[in-house]
């Protein structure tokens, strides 16, 4: 089983590509086994199932940090044919990812797998978590991004990584982000996905 995320940058023309494109590439490379960027602001990445939801929120935080947002369809399934590019690889994970992306209406995250029960659960939780991200400022998004990437690091060390003078600044930003709630929900959904 693998995960494939298909996404695009919302309102990408409102910012110069030289500002957001390197940040998108770095965010994708953080979790991806491999990734493709195409049509300017669309992307696809292959990654392990246990990292899919965390990666989606990491990518979201990276884009919010530069004043943009992102829509993503997450597919969980098989890979039948391997290629050097994600976009020319075949399998149910890629089909589900494309279908999940096509399902996006007003939401920015949607998940699809062969299990309708798990899909229903995740697609009830993900929009609620997406609502929390609408309140993120660039500073909050940066803090969330660093916290997701360094999940076993305490807040004192996170403050050092973020070059913040006080640990309380990190604590306040994560609290405003709803970070603990997001992490618990992502962990729960991930445990369900790993039963597929």
Q: At what angle do helices 167-177 and 138-149 cross, to 10 degrees?
A: 100
Reported as a pLDDT band with limits 50, 70 and 90, residue 115 is very high
Note the pLDDT of residue 43: 97
Q: What's the mean pLDDT when you consider all of the chain?
A: 94
State the burial class of residue 116 (Cβ atoms within 10 Å of its Cβ: 0-12, 13-18, 19+): exposed
pLDDT digits (tens, 9 = 90+) for 24-74: 999 999 999 899 999 889 999 999 999 999 999 999 999 999 999 999 999
State the burial class of residue 104 (Cβ atoms within 10 Å of its Cβ: 0-12, 13-18, 19+): middle
Note the pLDDT of residue 88: 67
Please list, residue by residue across 121-144, b when 16 or more beta carbons sit within 10 angstroms of its beta carbon and e when fewer do. bbbebbeebbebbeebeebbbbbb
pLDDT digits (tens, 9 = 90+) for 119-156: 999 999 999 999 999 999 999 999 999 999 998 999 99
Note the pLDDT of residue 135: 95
Gap between the Cα atoms of 28 and 178, Å rounded? 23
Q: Which structural domains are found in the chain, ordered by start?
A: 2-193 (3.30.70.270)
Note the pLDDT of residue 87: 65
Could you give the C-alpha distances from 167 to 137, 144, 164, 182, in angstroms and in order?
A: 18, 14, 7, 20
Element (H, E) at 10: strand 2-10
């Amino acid at each position: 089983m693998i995960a494939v995320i298909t996404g695009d940058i919302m309102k990408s023309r409102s910012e110069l590509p030289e500002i957001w494109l390197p940040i998108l590439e770095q965010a994708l490379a953080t979790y991806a086994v491999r990734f493709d960027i195409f049509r300017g602001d669309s992307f696809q990445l292959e990654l392990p199932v246990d990292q899919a939801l965390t990666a989606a929120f990491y990518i979201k935080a990276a884009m919010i940090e530069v004043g943009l947002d992102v829509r993503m369809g997450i597919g969980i399934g098989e890979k039948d044919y391997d290629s050097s590019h994600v976009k020319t690889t075949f399998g149910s994970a890629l089909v589900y990812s494309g279908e999940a992306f096509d399902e996006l209406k007003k939401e920015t995250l949607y998940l699809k797998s062969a299990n309708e029960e798990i899909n229903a659960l995740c697609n009830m939780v993900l929009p609620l978590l997406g609502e929390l991200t609408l309140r993120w400022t660039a500073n909050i998004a940066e803090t969330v991004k660093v916290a997701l990437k360094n999940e076993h690091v305490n807040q004192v060390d996170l403050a050092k990584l973020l070059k913040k003078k006080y640990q309380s600044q990190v604590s306040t930003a994560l609290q405003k982000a709803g970070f603990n709630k997001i992490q618990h929900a992502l962990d729960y959904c991930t445990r369900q996905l790993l039963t597929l």
